[in-house]
Structure 1
């Protein structure tokens, strides 16, 4: 599924700057083991920098988490050319969002980085939680725009329904470590047909 975390660590190269190595370590560790389980010492060790250097580039862990989420968002956007291809219909572009990406055979499924961050940082006023919520709102708005373009009678409702299906599938995949995107796409197709053609969802 296009918005699920399928983030690969930034590839490190000899001579690469400290900030980039720190961000690479954050992507690797936050994705694999979570935000709260990852400490500053482990981040510094993985990035091969001192804690002092880490704090020069990211004075707080919250700032590093924010940079991590920004990186994930950029990576997801750059990995979705098919979903946004002008050669596809709005319906096809909408359903393509539900295509599931396969991580490595041994990689645990980590679901959505933004949902995970919102759970790990539950305070709705916290900057990390606010960034996660903002991304999820934009995601639903994107679905709404595509639903409107596809001819849905109530695109706002359909957009929220599809966002709920997507996020539910991402969370279930994380809990069970089993891909659920195929089922989510099936539900999305049924909801889309009902919204456009008036066909009852099966």
Structure 2
């Protein structure tokens, strides 16, 4: 495994499990099994590392998420949660922990949410035949709500959100 992958993998695992603030650089160095000099040379600081983790996670998430239909969207979320764990959205958690005050992190969070909304808007337009900002926001809220609710209700709540989203899409589609 190359150094970047080794470092990003360890950092994502720690940030996702324990949070940004609770994860110190010493722990990142130990978990990555790299020297502190190597870690700092590759990332600069913890803020930059978190931003890189978020960028890599965004890429992986969108590669694994099927935006073909409402059904496949929520099935992808269920698979993601089963594989990655149902701990809520790392982007929301990173933003909440940092208060939006760390520009690199806030920029990655904004980019993720912008892309997620755009992909859902495209899905809505394909399934209903029309651009509908309200319906897009409703599906987005169900998706993000299911992500959060899965932390305490389990992944079955994603199926409930999917059923609701499918009803909304059906109601928004021309008859």
TM-score range, shorter chain: 0.7 to 0.9
Count of aligned pairs between the two proteins? 171
Q: Does residue 1:47 correspond to 2:32, yes or no?
A: yes
- Structure 2: unaligned runs, 5 residues or longer: none
Task: Specify the SS of the correspondent of 1:127.
Answer: helix
Is the contact between residue 74 and residue 143 of structure 2 (CA under 8 Å) also seen in structure 1? yes
TM-score by length of 2: 0.86
Q: Does residue 1:117 correspond to 2:102, yes or no?
A: no
Tell me by how many angstroms 1:191 deviates: 0.9
Q: Match for residue 184 of structure 1?
A: 161
Structure 1 residues 135-162: Cα deviation after superposition (integer angstroms, max 9, x where no partner): 1121111111111122254522211111
Is the contact between residue 108 and residue 177 of structure 1 (CA under 8 Å) also seen in structure 2? no
Q: Does residue 1:27 correspond to 2:4, yes or no?
A: no
Q: Match for residue 107 of structure 2?
A: 130
Q: Which has the higher helix share?
A: 2
TM-score by length of 1: 0.76
Q: Match for residue 37 of structure 1?
A: 22
Structural RMSD (CA): 2.1
- Structure 1: unaligned runs, 5 residues or longer: 1-15, 85-89
Write the distance in 1 (CA, Å) between the matches of 2:102 and 2:26. 27
Is the contact between residue 98 and residue 166 of structure 1 (CA under 8 Å) also seen in structure 2? yes
